[in-house]
Chains A and B, each alone.
Chain A
Amino acid sequence: MAAVTGTTLVEGATPPARRARRGIRQFPVWRWVILILVGSYFVIPLVAALRFTGFSSFPQVIHQEGFSDAFQLSVKLAVITTVLTILLMLPTTVYVHLRLPRLRRLMEGVTILPIVIPPVVLIVGVLEIAPGFLKSTPYLLGLIYVVLAMPFAYRAFDAGLRALDLNTLVEAAQSLGAGWRSTLWRVMLPNLRTAMLSATVLTVALVLGEFTMASLDLYQTFPVWIVAFDQTSGPISVAASLLALFVTWIFLLGITLIGGRGSRRKGGAEVSLFSVSRQNTNPGGS
């Protein structure tokens, strides 16, 4: 596109107004209908819950007995699970991509197991084999959550690695004299930041909402506390649920915004929970 009186437009760029008009044209009516229907499915229960509990219940939630402990435990478990998941899954996925690409399909199969196997079976199995000193602490839940987060974390890392030409980047770094540690720290990790964010978002969301495992393991995480408190006070329990939902959303939005900003500035992939778009490049040209 040529320069236009006083404003130079980058080749291939589209003016915002035209882009907006094209955006509306490309989003036909039937899509709006589906969006509204599906949106209603999510929004109506929330509005109903909000009407049931009333705004006055929200301030009372944090003063309820057990709230603070349960919330702290859930946050602590979210941090532990996220750290362990990244430490375990990131090197594994990188190694499979670099050295054992033929095992990718097997990895996909293995990592999907926690979704396929019923939670009750998982927890009974874990309690059977877990060492005694771990059974007596809530941190056993962290290990269980690592397994539960595996399908999501693996897919996030896998998508991130597919978006990079990892082999070439690693070889380029090595040809310039970088050892494995430098390559990992200066080349791989910064370029997998988006994937790590996706994995973090998904893992945190999973841990903050998980009920079955915690309940069967007899620990009062935040979701377990909400269900238990429901027996005492319905409106406050519902207010706690909504609060948990909003806090989780704000948390996830924060992670996505903070991570996405730096990544976009450097031409990184778009942040998405379930996929990572390929890095932007301008092919050809001088």
Chain B
Amino acid sequence: MTTNAGQATGHQADRTARSTSGATVDLRNLSRSFGTTRALDGLTLRLAPGELVALLGPSGCGKTTALRIVAGFETADSGTVEVDGQDVSPVPAAKRDMGMVFQSYSLFPNMSALDNVSFGLRMRRLGSAERQRRATDLLDMVGLAPQAKQYPHQLSGGQQQRVALARALAIEPRVLLLDEPLSALDAKVRLQLREQIRSLQQRLGTTTLFVTHDQEEALSMADRVGVMRDGRLEQIATPDELYDRPATPFVAEFVGIMNRIPAGLLELLGASGLAADLTPHRERPGNAVDVLVRPEGLRITASPTGNGIVVGRTFLGQLTRVSVRLSGDVVVQVDLQSTEAAGIAPGDPVDVSLAGAPVMVAER
């Protein structure tokens, strides 16, 4: 987003923002099946007023189904959706007062950007002048006032999604629903738009439910992130907590990069103490215990008699991610400052050791 757009965002948001803060949204024990597939299995979630909660998870985990139930496009088999304590489950989508931005470009092709934004206001029977003023303000907020008269086919994908955002916000929704709105955009535009969405959402204080499969998006935008799996919420927490203190091995491995190291290799990594602590686990049948360690939780030093061989390296800017093969064909990834990693090349023998406590111990 351009600087001008950002400035416009600030001024206009204050002018256009509704006086009240966002609504409280309660999803209570939502379940939904499609045939024999259980898309949602007792989902319970509360969004505080003005909060942005991201639902994150792999394809088919039920996050979109949850969003569509909140929007009123799907009906839950059981459970309720409450907005400010009122059960909206029987209320049709058109009367729920929720703005939604879709994954695919959803602007009405027969209408200009301005008409698209004022569509919801027309449905609310606002006068022509008021519609025009508010729609223009909203387009200004997203930095697209000069494109007001253009039709969707004359706008780029990023511009279309910004118009779609302005259109959803124009009705001053009680809840804003974002269904992977950035996934069709290229990386640079995605980054710009995600900052703009977050900035607008915070200024307007609109309670927002955001569905994405992109963990970077979820972690960078949301106040809290809910990780879903098989229709259930595995954990909901702030981005930091989710990363540092995952509740389950699934969350630990889904969020960020995680090394899974068999407990049998701990002594090799110089963690004899930890290995001893894990002995009761390891005595189980199959010796099936792993420790989960982040790439920054390992360190490597060049050593001709080391316990691993460098098999690859990926330059990430300030950091370089080095892949090392340990005995038993276990490959771990270690993050190093790029300056430190400069002298390390594939084929080099290195010594890998634990830099701190692992994130968790998990059964294999």
Question: A interface vs B, CB < 8 Å?
Answer: 164-165, 168-169, 171-179, 182, 186-187, 190-191, 193, 265-268, 279-286
Contacts and interface: CB of A to CB of B under 8 A. Distances in A.
A212 B195 CA distance: 67
Contacts of B119: 173, 176, 178, 186
A122 B108 CA distance: 42
Contact of A177 (B110, B123, B189): B123
Main secondary structure of the interface of A (DSSP, over half): loop
B110 A266 contact: yes
Candidate in A173, A190, A191, A286 with the most chain B CB atoms within 10 angstroms: A286
B105 A191 contact: no
A165 B104 contact: yes
Nearest to B99: A175
Contacts of B105: 165, 281
Given A171-B100, A285-B157, A268 B120 contact: no
A267 B158 contact: no
Contact of B123 (A176, A268, A286): A176
B94 interface: yes
Interface of B: 71-73, 92-100, 102, 104-110, 119-120, 123-124, 151-160, 164, 167-168, 171, 177, 184-186, 188-189, 192
B94 A191 contact: no
Contact of B102 (A172, A187, A190): A172
B124 A177 contact: yes
B106 A174 contact: no
A172 B106 contact: yes
A182 B155 CA distance: 25
A266 B157 contact: no
B291 to A, nearest CB: 42
A182 B108 CA distance: 13
A94 to B, nearest CB: 16
Nearest to B189: A286
Contacts of B100: 171-172, 175
Contacts of B177: 175
Contact of B94 (A177, A186, A282): A177
A194 to B, nearest CB: 11
A267 to B, nearest CB: 3
B99 A286 contact: no
A182 B123 contact: yes
Contacts of B156: 282-286
Contacts of A266: 109-110, 151, 153
